[in-house]
A and B are shown apart, each in its own frame.
Chain A
Amino acid sequence: MKDESPLGPTVKLRGLCRMTPERAHRGYRLNRFLTGMRDPRQRAAFARDPDACMADYGLSPAEQDMVRRRDCDAMLDYGASNVAIGKASAALGLTLLGRGATGRGQSVQEFLAWRRAANEGAPWHF
Chain B
Amino acid sequence: MAFLIGGIGSSHAPSIAHAADSGLQQQPEWMSFFDAYQPVRAWLHQCQVDTLVVFYNDHLNHFQFDAYPTFGLGVADAMPVCDEGSGARDFPLVPGDPELGWYLAQQLVQDGFDPTICQQMALDHGVMSVLPLLVDTPWTVRVVPIHINVLREPLPTPERCWRLGVAAGRAIASCPAPSRVAVVSTGGLSHQLHGPDFGFTNPSWDNRFMDLLIHQPDVLRRASHEDFMCRGGAESVEMMIWLAMRGALSTSGGGCTKSSGSTGRPCSQATGCWHLRRNSPETVADLCAKASVLKGFRMARIRCPRRA
Which residues of A come within 8 Å of B, CB atoms? Answer: 5-11, 13-21, 24, 28, 31-32, 35, 37-38, 72-73, 76, 81-84, 86-91, 96, 99-100, 103-104, 111, 115, 118-119, 122-126
Q: A8 touching B231 by the CB < 8 A rule?
A: yes
In the complex the two chains form, what is the Cα distance from A100 to B233 in whole Å? 14
Residues of B within 8 A of A118 (CB): 199-200
C-alpha spacing A126/B269, complex, angstroms: 9
Q: Quick one: given A17-B234, A100-B199, A122-B265, are A8 and B208 in contact (CB under 8 Å)?
A: yes
B259 at the A interface (CB under 8 A): no
Q: Which of B105-126 contact A (CB under 8 A)?
A: none
Interface string of B73-88 (1 = CB under 8 A from A): 0000000000111100
Give the docked Cα–Cα distance between A86 and B194 (Å).
11
Q: Which B residue's beta carbon lies closest to that of A10?
A: B230
Residues of chain B with a CB closer than 8 A to A90's CB: 85-86
B61 within 8 A of A: yes
- A105, chain B: closest CB distance, angstroms: 9
A16→B234 CA distance, assembly (Å): 6
In the assembled complex, the Cα of A43 lies from the Cα of B266 at a distance in Å of 31
Are A8 and B198 touching (Cβ within 8 A)?
Answer: no
Q: Are A87 and B192 in contact (CB under 8 A)?
A: no
Q: Which of A6, A10, A28, A83 contacts B212 (CB 8 A)?
A: A6
- Partner of A103 from the list B195, B204, B216, B233 (CB cut-off 8 Å) is B195
Bound-state Cα–Cα, A21 to B153, Å: 6
The reply to whether A83 and B85 form a contact with Cβ atoms under 8 Å apart is: no
Nearest CB in chain B to that of A22: its residue = B153
Within 8 A of A (CB), among B143-171: 151-154
CA distance A31 to B152 in the complex (A): 12
Pair A11/B202 contact, Cβ less than 8 Å? yes
A42 to B22, CA, bound (A): 27
Give the CA-CA distance A81 to B193 in the complex, in Å.
11
Q: Are A38 and B61 in contact (CB under 8 A)?
A: yes
Contact call B216/A6, Cβ cutoff below 8 A: yes
A82 CB contact (under 8 Å) in B83, B193, B223: B193
A residues less than 8 Å from B223 (CB atoms):
7
**A5-B216 Cα distance, complex, nearest whole Å:** 13
CA distance A119 to B196 in the complex (A): 15
* Contacting residue for A21 out of B154, B193, B231, CB 8 A: B154
Nearest CB in chain B to that of A101: its residue: B198
Counting chain B CB atoms within 10 Å of each CB, the highest count among A37, A73, A124 belongs to A124
Q: How far is the CA of A8 from the CA of B196 in the complex (A)?
A: 23
In the bound complex, how far is the Cα of B152 from the Cα of A89, in angstroms?
A: 20
Report the Cα distance A122→B61, complex, angstroms: 32
Whether the Cβ atoms of A24 and B152 lie closer than 8 Å is yes
